[in-house]
Structure 1
Amino acid sequence: MMLMVSGSQAILAEDGGVYHFGFKKSKNGEPASIDQEGFKELLDKHGALFLGDQRQKNLYLTFDNGYENGYTAQILDVLKEKKVPAVFFVTGHYVKDQPDLLKRMVNEGHIIGNHSWSHPDMSKISPEQIADELTQVKEAVGMVTGQTTMNFLRPPRGIFNDQMLRVSRELGYTSVFWSVAYKDWDTKQQKGAKYAFDHVMAQLHPGAIILLHSVSKDNADAMAQIIDEARRQGYTFQSLDGLELGITGLP
């Protein structure tokens, strides 16, 4: 049986504790919530993140990079101009296909995170396979960029279970989910920069971890305006390296 939660993207499968991350979106600056999802204790148990300190108007910008669609360089240009740090979660395909962009990310002060080698459902593979998926990305990124550590993981498609979180934590990873997102990954359903801007700004809240996909032209075109308006509202963009809080966003 599947249980859909109103106002959320979550799916809870009653087949051994497999979850698809979802959350109640922020409105009017109030924090996003996972209280209704049924997996808060599991994320807390394994030190996973979905937002930061709710008392601070900090934002954490993250991108999922499964493949390149021609817009990451434009996004990097804006981040460099605006002096904003980001985390780019990459797959094995991206590492092999885009070494120059990976080098640029690291050279310009961004973090490269792990999005797995082959983008599998990591709740359905063995601990040994999980380790292999993550180790391949870490080693390949290191060979290309010289980045010697890799501390952050975003599970493909946001699918997770206790084993996946436990094994990745034992390997030194913090799983990073999100508290701001919208349907931006469909390259056939791009609706313009204003659409991206409106959907991101409507969800902003203190401590937000923002998930965007670099394949989206809308995101690339809206990036400068999103950053400028967020700063005008008193937000600052911080590196995920500085976020060492649990999923509740409390000290």
Structure 2
Amino acid sequence: MTNTGTDAVALTFDDGPDPQYTMQLLDLLKEQGVKATFCVVGFRVRSHPEVVRRIVADGHTLCNHSWQHLDLSKRDDNYLAGDLQATNDAIHAAVPDAPIEYFRAPYGNFTPGMVRLATRMGMKPIYWSVDDQCWMSSTYGTGPAMIDHIATMVRRGTRPGGIILSHDMGKPQTIAAYRSLLPWLTSRFHLEALPTDQPHRSGQEPR
């Protein structure tokens, strides 16, 4: 899926949890009253379960983004199944009742087999309609030029129903860009986390 299917816009943040920048992003989202979707990497979930607990406690949606962000398009079905299940298991070790209803392939490199497997595991494959291009550090660096570039790409590309791809792992420029982007986005669009069939257990205190 490359859009939400409604007029709502979904913010998605990949590659965390990052104990520093994911937490800063969660603070910023809370200040603005915005819910988002976090596509998390399994081994980082295992290392930082407290961050995942905070994500769920704040009412955001979780998405499986593989165990260690390898290019899964080059792996066989047995490897894929083990990778996705290990990531779900790590998430549920941190937040046992959290729904995991989405999967995003590393680098967006989906294959038909990967889509079938994720679907069988109860996860909808998600792509994006807007790429903030924070990965282009060789062109824009990691300072003010990159912050401006992220903001420009999001402002230029966002339309009703869009899914925005951003990254929180090791990306202070994402936090800086969203300080101005969130007020801009909320004044023009309805932002929401990708929906889940199970209710969030928001309101519980992170442990």
Taking structure 1 as the reference length, what is the TM-score of the superposition? 0.70
- The equivalent of 1:178 in structure 2 is 128
Q: Is the 8 A contact 1:187 1:216 kept in 2?
A: no
Cα deviation, 1:53-91, whole Å, max 9, x if unaligned, reads: 36x2x2101000256373211111011111111111111
1:52 aligns with 2:7: no
1:134 aligns with 2:84: yes
Count, aligned residues: 192
- Structure 2 CA distance, aligned partners of 1:151 and 1:182? 24
Q: Is the 8 A contact 2:56 2:98 kept in 1?
A: no
Percent of aligned positions that are identical: 29
- The equivalent of 2:142 in structure 1 is 190
Q: Is the 8 A contact 1:195 1:218 kept in 2?
A: no
Describe the SS at the equivalent of 1:207. Answer: coil
- The equivalent of 2:203 in structure 1 is none
1:81 aligns with 2:31: yes
Taking structure 2 as the reference length, what is the TM-score of the superposition? 0.84
Q: Is the 8 A contact 2:42 2:88 kept in 1?
A: no
Could you say which structure has the larger radius of gyration? 1
> Any stretches of 5+ residues in structure 1 without a counterpart?
1-48, 244-251
Structure 1 or 2: more helix by fraction: 2
1:223 aligns with 2:163: no
Describe the SS at the equivalent of 2:46. Answer: helix
- The equivalent of 1:199 in structure 2 is 153
- Structure 2 CA distance, aligned partners of 1:226 and 1:74? 15
The within-5 A match list for 1:236-251 is: 236-241=190-195
CA RMSD of aligned residues (A): 2.1
1:209 aligns with 2:159: no
Structure 1 counterpart of 2:182, which letter?
A: I
The within-5 A match list for 1:30-41 is: none
Structure 1 counterpart of 2:193, which letter?
A: S
- Structure 2 CA distance, aligned partners of 1:64 and 1:157? 10
Q: Is the 8 A contact 2:99 2:196 kept in 1?
A: no
1:119 aligns with 2:41: no
CA 1:210–1:64: 2 relative to 1, 3 Å: same
> Any stretches of 5+ residues in structure 2 without a counterpart?
198-207
- Structure 1 CA distance, aligned partners of 2:57 and 2:176? 23
